[in-house]
Amino acid sequence: MSSKQTYRVCFCFRRRFRVVAAEAPADIKNLFNEYADSNGVMNVENLHRFLIEVQKEENASLEDASNIMNNLHDLKILNIFHRRGLHLDAFFKYLFADINPPVNPKRKIHHDMNAPLSHYFIYTGHNSYLTGNQLSSDCSDVPIIQALNRGVRVIELDIWPNSSKDDVEVLHGRTLTTPVSLIKCLRSIKEHAFSVSEYPVVITLEDHLTTDLQAKVAEMITQTFGDMLFTPDSECLKDFPSPESLKKRVMISTKPPKEYLQAKEVKEKDSKNGPEADAEAWGREVSDLKARYNDKDDSDEGDGGEDDENEEDPKSQNTAPEYKRLIAIHAGKGKGGLSDWLRVDPDKVRRLSLSEQELAKAVVTHGKEIVRFTQRNMLRIYPKGIRFDSSNYNPFVAWTHGAQMVAFNMQGYGRSLWLMHGMFRANGGCGYVKKPDILLKAGPNNEVFDPEANLPVKTTLKVTVFMGEGWYYDFDHTHFDAYSPPDFYAKIGIAGVPADNVMKKTKTLEDNWIPNWDETFEFPLTVPELALLRVEVHEYDMSEKDDFAGQTCLPVAELRQGIRAVALHNRKGEKYNSVKLLMRFEFI
């Protein structure tokens, strides 16, 4: 190595560990000067004016401003020498602090919770018991507990006879997944169901049991949940009850047992090409999966997990009556085709399940019928069968057509799951988000919402990305580059109806642990009620794939205007300790 190369490496190593303190961007300094007095101090009255005029907190009081000052003292951002107000550094640290988030932490549950369950998007898990992939991972109650503690309200259990046929296990059938006992899962659901939300938990059962084991399951469920269990007065509900009326209740949803044999007969009748054609189709799916696995781009697509709802039946049509009485939300497709599945019955409500592929085809031919169906009935969407790695799909195809239960593999990390996290940050994180009126009401000519329609812009979201910090503290100093500070860029965009979908990018700032982009983007929104703000940060790599450096998704309808500290999360959705962006949100 030459002396010049040695010097360069040593210099870069020395640079790597140097980081200057974050400094307020020019726009923040100008704002501070506008609201501070001639001595460079922002007193309580001036902070109050700032809250109203810049932060758009129209109901903010002097007491609110005073409380901010007190919080800053508690956080040691203000000391005894600055009791009469904020100096620039304290003002900047306040804006970048956890006490100034983009979604109001005090705004808990604020949606109307007295409408029928069908009027809500519901946080829904798929194969909730799997710890990893769909083929060989362990089955456990741990991922169920984790999902409930995140606010998930729909837990799916596949129930099968054990090897001796005298008890019931939970596992992903016809795979190498190791089972967990049903009773263990039920007890964990009872213990953790309402740890973060009081609103109802729905257990969807994928039933592969004989009649005697169905009776055993009924006894397990009844004894485990007792008065927590909601059972309907009649065989089928005429209308769904409201989340408010079902607080701290557990509901069972599955196909009534007598329908399993019928479903299997229909399936066999429709399979006219025999097992050879099925094998050939499976081979094509696996080949497609392998081809997509060879694409290393971190896209929204991936694979793993199938819903077996129509595949198995009890050995006889005799049913355990005590089991059938437990079913609060009846599921099933019926004998006909899609038009029959989507028929709205004025005398009863039900749940329909479609795979993501079935939905993709159905929205082309029956989009309006799907929206009408979901105004009164439940629609559950589940991942296609070749998502072996427990990845997920774009939830917006389902949400924009009114589907309430968009079932996701909660261990399937990626952009699709980030969108799911973002949607259910709304309404206090209670797991129920009221659908917008456009999905619930027909127009004057009985027309329904069309996500593909060319609609006028309702509002424009203006987003300024000032800067970011925290990577120096949360990441190893050689994580992004062995010899120099990272080269960060941010991606800002919208996920929603097709017309609103967009992703934009800042410039890349080289060799800087504290990037100061100071860039503004505008997003015209036709359906802001269904929009999520997407935020990602990456580190540019010339020779390899760019490094991931954080993400978050936020419901546009709940964004607080003004300058806010936006905490970023890792790929799994866990919040970093220190990494944040300083951003400004304005609706113009």
CATH number at residue 253: 3.20.20.190
Instruction: Give a yes or no: residue 264 inside a domain.
Output: no
Same domain, 88 and 121: no
Q: Which of 418, 434, 450 is the last residue of a domain?
A: 434
Q: Which of 378, 399, 434 is the last residue of a domain?
A: 434
Give the count of domains, the chain: 3
Burial 205-226 (b: 16+ CB within 10 A, else e): bbbbbbbebbbbbbebbeebbe
**172 tagged catalytic:** yes
Is the CB of residue 560 less than 8 Å from the CB of residue 94? no
Which residue range is the domain that position 535 belongs to? 459-587
Same domain, 549 and 469: yes
**Mean pLDDT calculated for residue range 67-74:** 85
**Catalytic residue of the set 73, 111, 119, 126:** 126
Q: What is the mean pLDDT of the chain?
A: 86
CB atoms within 10 A of CB 287: 11
- 250-254 and 327-330 beta bridge pairing: parallel
Same domain, 199 and 331: yes
Instruction: Give a yes or no: residue 3 inside a domain.
Output: no
Q: Round the CA-based radius of gyration of the chain to a whole number and report it.
A: 27
Please tell me the least confidently modeled range out of 60-74, 178-192, 337-351, 466-480.
60-74
Same domain, 427 and 470: no
Question: Where residue 319 falls among pLDDT bands split at 50, 70, 90?
Answer: low
Q: Report the pLDDT value the prediction gives residue 130, as an integer from 0 to 100.
A: 93
Q: Identify the DSSP state of 231.
A: -
Question: Where residue 490 falls among pLDDT bands split at 50, 70, 90?
Answer: very high
- Whether the pLDDT of residue 81 is over 90: the answer is no
Is the CB of residue 369 less than 8 Å from the CB of residue 396? no
- Whether the pLDDT of residue 289 is over 50: the answer is no
Q: Report the pLDDT value the prediction gives residue 20, as an integer from 0 to 100.
A: 60
Q: Report the pLDDT value the prediction gives residue 83, as an integer from 0 to 100.
A: 58
**Mean pLDDT calculated for residue range 37-59:** 93
Task: Give 205's strand partners.
Answer: 157
Instruction: Give a yes or no: residue 5 inside a domain.
Output: no
Instruction: Give a yes or no: residue 289 inside a domain.
Output: no
State phi, psi for 28 to the nearest 5 degrees.
Answer: -70, -40
Nearest to 469, CA basis, from 447, 455, 490, 497: 490
Q: Report the pLDDT value the prediction gives residue 511, as an integer from 0 to 100.
A: 93
Instruction: Give a yes or no: residue 73 inside a domain.
Output: yes
CATH number at residue 573: 2.60.40.150
Is the CB of residue 520 less than 8 Å from the CB of residue 489? no
Same domain, 184 and 321: yes
**Catalytic residue of the set 119, 172, 366, 538:** 172
Crossing angle of the two packed helices 62-74 and 88-95, in degrees rounded to 10: 100
- Whether the pLDDT of residue 233 is over 90: the answer is no
Same domain, 127 and 91: no
Nearest to 434, CA basis, from 445, 424, 447: 424
Same domain, 51 and 189: no
91-148 tens-digit pLDDT? 999 999 999 999 987 778 999 999 999 999 999 999 999 999 899 999 999 999 999 9
Higher pLDDT, 115 or 285: 115
Contacts of 265 (CB under 8 A, 6+ apart): none
Same domain, 422 and 534: no
Instruction: Give a yes or no: residue 241 inside a domain.
Output: yes
The Cα–Cα gap between 246 and 228 comes to 9
Share of the chain above pLDDT 70, in %: 84
**538 tagged catalytic:** no
Is the CB of residue 553 less than 8 Å from the CB of residue 496? no
Same domain, 417 and 470: no
Q: Report the pLDDT value the prediction gives residue 19, as an integer from 0 to 100.
A: 59
Coil, strand, or helix at residue 384? coil
Question: Where residue 203 falls among pLDDT bands split at 50, 70, 90?
Answer: very high
pTM metric for this prediction: 0.86
**Mean pLDDT calculated for residue range 24-42:** 92
Instruction: Give a yes or no: residue 266 inside a domain.
Output: no
Contacts of 476 (CB under 8 A, 6+ apart): none
**Mean pLDDT calculated for residue range 566-587:** 96
Same domain, 157 and 249: yes
The Cα–Cα gap between 297 and 301 comes to 10
Is the CB of residue 282 less than 8 Å from the CB of residue 175? no
Instruction: Give a yes or no: residue 23 inside a domain.
Output: yes
The Cα–Cα gap between 392 and 7 comes to 48
Is the CB of residue 121 less than 8 Å from the CB of residue 433? yes
Q: Report the pLDDT value the prediction gives residue 317, as an integer from 0 to 100.
A: 63
CATH number at residue 67: 1.10.238.10
Same domain, 192 and 232: yes
Crossing angle of the two packed helices 211-225 and 182-192, in degrees rounded to 10: 30
Greatest mean pLDDT among 19-28, 243-252, 293-302:
243-252
Structure tokens at 404: 């309430």
- 532-539 and 547-555 beta bridge pairing: antiparallel
Q: Report the pLDDT value the prediction gives residue 500, as an integer from 0 to 100.
A: 97
Same domain, 428 and 520: no
